[in-house]
Chains A and B, each alone.
Chain A
Amino acid sequence: MNGQILIRKAGPGLSVQDLGRVGQTHIGLSRGGAADRLALYEAAALLGLSAPIAAIEMAAIGGDFEVTQPTRIALTGAAMRASIDSHPVVWSASHLLQPGQILRIGAAMRGVYGYLSFAGGIEIMPRLGSRATHLSAGLGAALTAGARLPLGADNALETGARVLHCDNRFEGGTLRYISGPQTELFDTVTRARFDQTRFTRSPSGNRQGVALDFEDTKFPAQAPDGLASDFIQEGDIQMTGAGHPFVLLAECQTIGGYPRIGTVLDCDIPKIAQAPAGAPLRFTHVTLAEADRIAATQANLLQNLRRQTTDLIRDPRMIPDLLAYQLISGVTAGRDLEE
C-alpha cells in the first residue's frame, strides 16, 4: 500500500536527493545527488536497507512533516533540532513515525546538510535513472510547504530504533586530494604553499560548490592564454579569478575553464560539503596509490556502518504510549541481523 509524505512547513533548501546519476557526462549532466552521500549510507544502515535510497536533503533548516501510513524514518547528516509531537528525538538514529504525528525539524546545530529518510522510500518517478533533484539542470524543484510525495510501504515496522555514532565531519578539518590533469600548471612553490595554508569555509557556497577564504597570497596557475575548457568534476579544487580556491560539489557543471590544482577524495567530500561558514579547512596531497588504497577501504561501507549501529535506548518517560509496546521480545525481523 502506498501512502504520502506531507510537507507542512519547509525551509528554503529542501530537495529529494539520492546517490545521483553516474555515467551522464556525455550529455553534460553532473552526478548531482546528496551533497553528503555518506549520510544516505548511514540512513540505509540505520533502516536495515540493502542500498541507499532517496531522502529529503535539508540545507541548514528542516521543516514539518507528516505521513499517511506508519514508517520508520532515519535522521542523518548535519544534526538538527528534531521532535515528534514535541518530544525531542535523537539525531543520527531511526525512529517510528505514525500518521497524525508531526515530525518537526529545525535548524542545524552543526554542519550544513541534514537528511530525512523514510524506510518505505520516496517513490517519485526516476528521471534519467535517478530521483535526485538537479536544480541547475532543471530536473525537479525545491520542496515547498504543501508538497506531497508518494511514500512506499515499510515492511519492517517492528524493527526497533537504531542509533549510529559517526565521526565528526561537521566542523571542517583536513581534506586529502590527488593530482589532476592541471596540477602541473601550478608551480611547486604554489602547490607547497597551498598545502600549508589555513583556509576557512566562505559563507558563499551551495550544492554546486563552496568558496574558501584565506589571508595570504592567491594561488595563480601558469596557464597559457586561451586554456581550453575541459572536464571538471565533484571534488575539483578550481582557482577562480586570479587564484581563489573553489571546491566543486555534487551539482557542479561538467566542463569548465578555470585551472584546477587537484581533486578531493570522494570519501572526504562530506567534510567540505558539511563545513559551516568559518570552519577551518586544510588540504594535504596524497599519491594516486594512496588514494586507491583509501578507496578500497570504502568498498564495504554499508556493512561496516551497519555493524556500528546499536539499539537506541530511550528514556521510558519520553515514550507517551509505553504500554502499547512489546517490552519483552527476542524477535526481530531478521534483516537487522544479516551481515
Chain B
Amino acid sequence: MTVEDALLPPSAGPQDAQILPLGQDGILVRFALRAEPWATSAAQAFYDTARAAPLPHMREIVPSLTSVLFRFDATKITRAESARQIGELLSGRDWQAAMPQPAKRIWRIPAAFGGENGPDLEAAAKLAGLSPHAAIEMITSTPLRVLAIGFAPGQPYLGLLPQQWDLPRMQSLNPQVPKGAIAVAVRQLVLFSNASPTGWRQIARTGFAPFRPDAESAVPLRAGDALHLVPVSGDDLTGLLASGDPAGGAICEAQT
C-alpha cells in the first residue's frame, strides 16, 4: 500500500473517519463533511483521546467542528508513521456514539440581544420559527461548547443549537459587524474578535474580547469549554463596553 493510499482510503464510507493529508506536515481526521451533532461530539471526544495519548512528535493537535488536525515534526517522524499512530488511536471505538468529556470550565458571558446590538435577531428568529423573545430564551438556555477556535485569532465557534437553527448563510454579506458581535448560522454561533464582514446574522453583542494580544493569556477560551450567554439589557452592555473590561463582565468557573 502506498502512502497515498494509506491517507486516502478509497473505500471509506460516509460513516468512517477519514485520515487525510493537510499540507506537508499535517494530517486531518475528519468524521463528517457536515457539522452533524454526532460528528461534532466525535471530534471533541477524539481530541480528548489524542491529547491524552503519548504522541511525542506531534507539534500540534487541534479540534475543529468535525475534525481534528495533527501537525507532525517531519524531522522526527514520517507521514506514514504519523498516520499509523493516529489510525491506532481511532481504531476500536464507536465514534458515532462517543461523547466528549465534561467541560473543565464554564463561562457565563453577558450579551445584549436585538436592537442595535442584534439587528438580524428578528429575521433569524423568524427563520427558526420563533418569536424574538422565544429565540433569546432558547439560545441562552442551550448549553454551548467551544467547538473550535479559528478563522480569526481567538474567535470561537459555539454550538450546537437545536435543529431549527440550521440557518443558511445570508445571500449577501453583512458588510461589517462590530467586535463582540454574536452571529448565527448552521446551528452555530460565532463571537467576533474584530469588526468583520460576514454572511452570518448578527443577533447579539458582548463586551467579551476573545483575543487580547498583550494579555498573559492572549486567548481566554479553549476548545471544549462550556459556555452560557447571559441576557442583559442594551444599557447594561453599553456600561460594560464603557468600562474597558476585556472580559465584558464574563465569569469563568473551573469544574472540579
Which of B2, B30, B64 contacts A255, CB < 8 Å? B64
CB B246 to nearest CB in A, in angstroms, measures 13
- 30 pairs across A/B with beta carbons < 8 Å? A22-B59, A23-B60, A25-B71, A26-B223, A27-B154, A28-B193, A127-B213, A128-B213, A128-B218, A137-B211, A179-B4, A179-B8, A180-B21, A184-B8, A226-B168, A227-B33, A228-B32, A228-B64, A229-B64, A229-B151, A230-B28, A231-B28, A231-B69, A231-B150, A233-B23, A235-B23, A254-B151, A255-B157, A263-B22, A263-B23
B21 in contact with A28 (CB, 8 Å): no
A289 at the interface (CB under 8 A from B): yes
A99 at the interface (CB under 8 A from B): no
A253 at the interface (CB under 8 A from B): yes
Give the CA-CA distance A235 to B3 in the complex, in Å: 21
Give the CA-CA distance A228 to B37 in the complex, in Å: 12
The residues in A between 270 and 303 inclusive whose CB is less than 8 angstroms from any CB of B are 287-289, 291-292, 295, 299
A226 in contact with B151 (CB, 8 Å): no
Q: A228-B32, A266-B24 are in contact. Are A28 and B4 (CB under 8 A)?
A: no
Q: Which residues of B contact A139 (CB under 8 A)?
A: 213
Q: Which residues of A contact B193 (CB under 8 A)?
A: 28
Give the CA-CA distance A139 to B155 in the complex, in Å: 15
A231 in contact with B166 (CB, 8 Å): no
A250 at the interface (CB under 8 A from B): no
Residues of chain A at the chain B interface (Cβ within 8 Å): 22-23, 25-29, 127-128, 136-139, 178-181, 184, 223-231, 233-236, 253-256, 263, 265-266, 287-289, 291-292, 295, 299
A27 in contact with B35 (CB, 8 Å): no
Q: Which residue of A lies closest to B26 (CB)?
A: A233
Q: Which residues of B contact A289 (CB under 8 A)?
A: 2-4
A28 in contact with B219 (CB, 8 Å): yes
A228 in contact with B65 (CB, 8 Å): yes
Q: Which residues of B contact A180 (CB under 8 A)?
A: 20-23
On chain B, which size bracket covers the interface?
A: 35 or more
B 148-170 to A, binary, CB cutoff 8 A, 1 in contact else 0: 11111111010000000010100
Q: Which residues of A contact B33 (CB under 8 A)?
A: 223-224, 227-228
Q: Which residues of B contact A235 (CB under 8 A)?
A: 23
Give the CA-CA distance A29 to B193 in the complex, in Å: 12
Q: Which residues of A contact B79 (CB under 8 A)?
A: 288, 292
A228 in contact with B60 (CB, 8 Å): no
A224 in contact with B22 (CB, 8 Å): no
Which of B148, B152, B213, B223 contacts A136, CB < 8 Å? B152
Q: Which residues of B contact A225 (CB under 8 A)?
A: 34
Q: Which residues of B contact A254 (CB under 8 A)?
A: 150-151
Q: Which residue of B lies closest to A22 (CB)?
A: B59
Q: A23-B60, A228-B32 are in contact. Are A265 and B218 (CB under 8 A)?
A: no
Q: Which residues of B contact A288 (CB under 8 A)?
A: 3-4, 7, 21, 79
B22 in contact with A231 (CB, 8 Å): yes
Q: Which residue of A lies closest to B40 (CB)?
A: A228
A28 in contact with B23 (CB, 8 Å): no
B186 at the interface (CB under 8 A from A): yes
Enumerate the 4 nearest inter-chain pairs by beta-carbon distance, A residue then B residue, closest first: A255-B150, A27-B219, A28-B150, A181-B20
Give the CA-CA distance A223 to B154 in the complex, in Å: 28
